[in-house]
């Protein structure tokens, strides 16, 4: 299933890498969605924001490979009403695992905790099967 297979370390390191990576992805997508929502409120066209941010310090995978704004990345689930892709329920599961691991290890993950709370809300609002980038709708106030 993966494009690259990398050895993370001893027993359990692969699981640790997965939940840490997915926590980062969940946080990154929320930031990307927030930036699009703010840009829209400030009168900046989504395609112009995308063009600028994708060539600036805000460039990230959530923006340029999986844009939550429809019409900007041809293969993104946002172009299919957020069908397919990585479900909100799966992101929430991984964020819960990350928070449990953080609690068990004594790590501080305040953004991970906030991401879990936002995805839990989005899940409760009936979006568990939609792609996690659909979070844009919540942040745009389309609930």
Cα–Cα distance for residue pair 19/37, rounded to 1 Å: 27
Summarize the confidence of residues 8-22 as an average pLDDT. Answer: 79
The pLDDT value given to residue 37: 98
In the chain, how long is the greatest CA-to-CA distance?
50
Does residue 93 have an active-site annotation? Answer: no
- What domains are defined for the chain? 17-139 (1.10.1040.10)
- List all residues 6 or more positions away from 59 whose beta carbon is below 8 Å from its beta carbon: 53
What string of H, E and C letters represents the secondary structure of the chain? CCCCCCCCCCCCHHHHHHHHHHHHHHHHHHHHHHHHHHHHHCCCCHHHHHHHHCCCCCCCHHHHCCCCCCCCCCCCHHHHCCCCCCEHHHHHHHHHHHHHHHHHHCCCCHHHHHHHHHHHHHHHHHHCCCEHHHHHHHHCCCC
Q: Which pLDDT value is given to residue 11?
A: 62
Q: What is the structure's pLDDT at 9?
A: 62
User: What's the mean pLDDT in 14-38?
Assistant: 95
| pLDDT for the residue 13 | 67
pLDDT by residue (tens digit) across 41-79?
Answer: 999 999 999 999 999 999 999 999 999 999 999 999 999
Quote the pTM value. Answer: 0.91
Q: How many CA atoms lie within 13 A of 77 on its CB side?
A: 16
Q: Which of 18, 48, 55, 96 is catalytic?
A: 18
């Amino acid at each position: 299933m993966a494009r690259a297979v990398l050895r993370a370390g001893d027993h359990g390191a692969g699981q640790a890498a997965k939940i840490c990576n997915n926590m980062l992805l969940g946080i990154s997508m929320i930031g990307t969605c927030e930036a699009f929502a703010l840009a829209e409120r400030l009168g900046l066209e989504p395609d112009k924001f995308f063009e600028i941010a994708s060539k600036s310090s805000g460039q990230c995978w959530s923006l340029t490979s999986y844009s939550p704004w429809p019409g900007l990345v041809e293969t993104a689930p946002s172009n299919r009403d957020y069908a397919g892709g990585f479900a909100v329920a799966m992101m929430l599961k991984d964020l819960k695992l990350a928070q449990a691991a953080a609690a068990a290890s004594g790590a501080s993950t305040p953004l991970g905790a906030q991401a879990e709370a936002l995805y839990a809300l989005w899940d409760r609002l009936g979006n568990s099967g939609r792609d996690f980038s659909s979070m844009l709708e919540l942040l745009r106030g389309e609930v």
